[in-house]
Amino acid sequence: MNNAQPNGSFEALGLNPSILKALDKMGFAEPTPIQNMVIPSLLEGTDIIAQAQTGTGKTAAFGLPVLEMMSASGGATALVLTPTRELARQVCEQLNRFGEFIGIKSTAICGGESFGRQIEMIKKSRILVATPGRLLDLYRSNRLKSFNPSYLILDEADEMLDMGFLEDIETIVSYLPKQRQALLFSATMSKSIKSLAKKLLKDPLLVNLTKENTSHKQIEQKFYIVRHHERVDALIRLIDCETEQKSLIFCATKKDVDHLSEVLSGKGYTVAALHGDMAQPQRKRAVDAFRFGRCRLLIATDVAARGLDVSDITHVYNFEIPFSDDSYTHRIGRTGRAGKTGTAITFVTPKETRWLQKLSKINGGASKVDQIPSLGEVKRLKMQKIIDDLKNHPVDPDAASRLEELKQTMDLQEINASLMSLLLKNEKITGPDRIGLTADELKAEPRSFPKKRGKKFGSWKKPHRKGKPKAFAKSFR
């Protein structure tokens, strides 16, 4: 196992000057720990199984050395498998930027586009970034006869297995050349992941970030005990507490996503929704609106948000508790990325407090339960922010002259009161004064639990995972 984290530069890794030029253009200053660990070994021809969270620089970790090796070998091609369309497109976009000055093109192969257009794109590209379902359709229809990749990368392999793609992956590999170099990325290292790696990789090097880098220390985790019907009010209250939020909100089902989107939109928030029933153009519009700041709230299901690569998310909300500890880790890992801090907020109903106890054991300590601010507290926060903004805002000369005109008909106290009232007009804070339960109130709250539950702490609440995993996965290709 390789846990070392050498310091250095991209130049020291021996990359092509044209690749270094692209990195400089993109603003890449120095390698991240996972890049420092993976790039040299890949360049040496070693198969690798790497454990790393989203947001650690994985795409560059495999993309840069693969591009380096392909630039030295004129006919080599590469295949990258990802769990979702969104991740496939994001990875493809970044690989094209890395390869801009060496002339190596990448194309994304996923559902929602015609086979004809994709075949034309494949002819112009040397790297395919694909979801398993669509790629398997191409292989089975004999549309990829001449594609024999020298490099195979499985990105977010644990997500693909969770979505039921194991059989598809194994079938795809049966079409590939036996002689190839392979890399598998996974946030977790379960038995199924190790088994898959054993089948696909030859004498792999296991690379793992240290516990310090994967423990989400940069993420503040908050928990609130709220009754089921209070969750919307609780969400709005916490959003209103901090105006500078870019938040990802997780719901359990597509129906919940649509309903919450309608409620928040109706209250004047800029919202985008993301779930598996949406057509690809709708999904792309939603992700782009969130990524480029046209909306500050993205409401999504777990499956739709897998592979979402947005680096400046400030808050993650678990509107409903996740289905497993891995799901919780993946969710909160969407914030606090690229060296930034983030906040993860989870709403827990009185009947779900055992989930919180289980999470405390996983985190190695008690999970602190906070109290949602009262209506009066939020109003005071808003008022203080307005006062601070007024103190720090530069005085416009025209404003000063307008003030002199107003003083001819109003005294200074009336002017100040009117201006403050005008500012507060756009800061409407609504809802009940108190939301959620205190510790004493929780003790008096009736709680009951199903007699049987699975090993995963959220497994008694799986409203949208019915039927065979395979059928479930295919609906999100």
Distance of alpha carbon 59 from alpha carbon 134, whole angstroms: 21
Annotated domain spans of the chain: 11-213, 215-246+310-374+434-458
Q: The dihedral of CA 170, 55, 278, 255: what is its sign?
A: positive
**Of 279, 282, 285, 326, which is closest to residue 306 (Cα–Cα)?**
326
- Same fold flag, 11-213 and 215-246+310-374+434-458: yes
CB-based contact 237:373 (threshold 8 Å): yes
CA dihedral 231, 320, 369, 437 (to 10 degrees): 30
DSSP for 31-48, please give it: --HHHHHHHHHHHTT--E
Q: The dihedral of CA 57, 62, 68, 74: what is its sign?
A: negative
Mention every residue, 6+ apart, whose C-beta is less than 8 A from residue 260.
Answer: 232, 235, 249, 251, 299, 319
**pLDDT tens per residue, range 400-437:** 788 888 888 888 888 888 887 777 766 667 778 889 88
Mention every residue, 6+ apart, whose C-beta is less than 8 A from residue 291.
Answer: 310
CB-based contact 93:107 (threshold 8 Å): no
**pLDDT tens per residue, range 221-249:** 999 999 999 999 999 999 988 767 899 99
pTM recorded for the entire structure: 0.62
Distance of alpha carbon 102 from alpha carbon 98, whole angstroms: 9
CB-based contact 151:73 (threshold 8 Å): no
DSSP for 56-99, please give it: SSHHHHHHHHHHHHHHTSTT--EEEE-SSHHHHHHHHHHHHHHT
Distance of alpha carbon 288 from alpha carbon 320, whole angstroms: 25
User: Tell me, what's the pLDDT at 363?
Assistant: 66
Distance of alpha carbon 218 from alpha carbon 114, whole angstroms: 42
Fold of the 11-213 domain: Rossmann fold (3.40.50)
Distance of alpha carbon 450 from alpha carbon 139, whole angstroms: 46
User: Tell me, what's the pLDDT at 446?
Assistant: 63
Residue 245 φ then ψ, to 5°: -110, 145
User: Tell me, what's the pLDDT at 422?
Assistant: 78
Distance of alpha carbon 83 from alpha carbon 335, whole angstroms: 20
* DSSP summary character for residue 147: -
CATH class of 215-246+310-374+434-458: alpha beta
Instruction: Give the chain's residues under pLDDT 50.
Output: 3-6, 210-214, 448-477
User: Tell me, what's the pLDDT at 304?
Assistant: 65
At 267 the three-state DSSP class reads coil
CB-based contact 159:83 (threshold 8 Å): yes
Distance of alpha carbon 253 from alpha carbon 304, whole angstroms: 10
DSSP for 165-234, please give it: -HHHHHHHHHTS-SS-EEEEEESS--HHHHHHHHHH-SSPEEEE--HHHHS-TTEEEEEEE--GGGHHHH
Nearest-Å Rg of the Cα atoms of the chain is 25
User: Tell me, what's the pLDDT at 437?
Assistant: 87
* DSSP summary character for residue 29: -
CB-based contact 36:7 (threshold 8 Å): yes
Tell me how long the chain is.
477
**pLDDT tens per residue, range 42-77:** 999 999 999 876 667 889 999 999 999 999 887 889
Phi-psi region of 431 (alpha: psi -120 to 50; beta: other; left: phi over 0): left
CB burial string 211-245: b at 16+ within 10 A, e below: eebbebeebbbbbbbbbeebbbbbbbbbbbeeeeb
